[in-house]
């Protein structure tokens, strides 16, 4: 199982000062989440399978970080990829609710919703299908290799003025 996020969506082409293009919601929120998930599972020390954690660079200009990463491993060894993308604000489904890109492409959403059923939580289907977000984040690189790979977000693309419809 792979948990991922991107820490730098534009790559490091800036030649002056800080050359990393950071963003609080896009995507320090996702990077923080994978660090917290890693800490949680490290304390549990009882994982049924190997867990991997990756933070990528250059997501928005072609997914160069995830492309490089995907060439370093056998995709058949990855059960699924949970890519966390912009979870710093409440979703249109409420605070603490997430939506998932490409829910129809695998049974990961169904499995997660079955596991969450007792808690009353739910993973929602991507509310922005016209944006084709499944293809526009780091999950797409591994999905092309046959890995059930999805991005999870709470972003409200239709309300966040910082985000353009092209995100």
- Tens-digit pLDDT profile for residues 48-74: 889 999 999 877 777 888 999 999 999
Mean pLDDT of 110-134: 95
Q: Please choose, from the candidates 17, 122, 23, 160, the residue with its C-alpha nearest in 3D space to the C-alpha of residue 5.
A: 23
DSSP-based three-state secondary structure for 40? helix
Query: Can you tell me the distance from the alpha carbon of 147 to that of 108, in angstroms, rounded to the nearest whole number?
Result: 11
What the chain holds in terms of domains, given with CATH numbers, is 2-153 (3.40.630.10)
Averaged pLDDT of the chain = 87
Instruction: State pTM to two decimals.
Output: 0.86
**pLDDT over 50 (residue 22):** yes
């Amino acid at each position: 199982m792979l948990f991922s996020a991107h820490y730098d969506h534009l790559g490091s082409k800036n030649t002056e000062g800080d050359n990393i293009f950071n963003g609080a919601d896009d995507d320090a929120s996702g990077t923080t989440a994978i660090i917290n998930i890693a800490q949680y599972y490290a304390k549990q020390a009882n994982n049924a399978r190997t867990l991997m954690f990756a933070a990528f660079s250059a997501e928005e200009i072609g997914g160069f970080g995830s492309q490089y990463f995907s060439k370093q491993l056998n995709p058949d060894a990855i059960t699924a990829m949970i890519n966390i993308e912009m979870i710093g604000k409440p979703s249109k489904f409420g605070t603490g609710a997430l939506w998932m890109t490409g829910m129809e492409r695998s049974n990961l959403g169904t499995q997660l919703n079955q596991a969450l059923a007792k808690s009353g939580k739910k993973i929602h289907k991507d509310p922005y299908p016209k944006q084709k977000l499944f293809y526009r984040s780091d999950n797409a690189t591994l999905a092309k290799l046959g890995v059930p790979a999805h991005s999870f977000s709470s972003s409200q693309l239709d309300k966040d003025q910082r985000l353009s419809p092209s995100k």
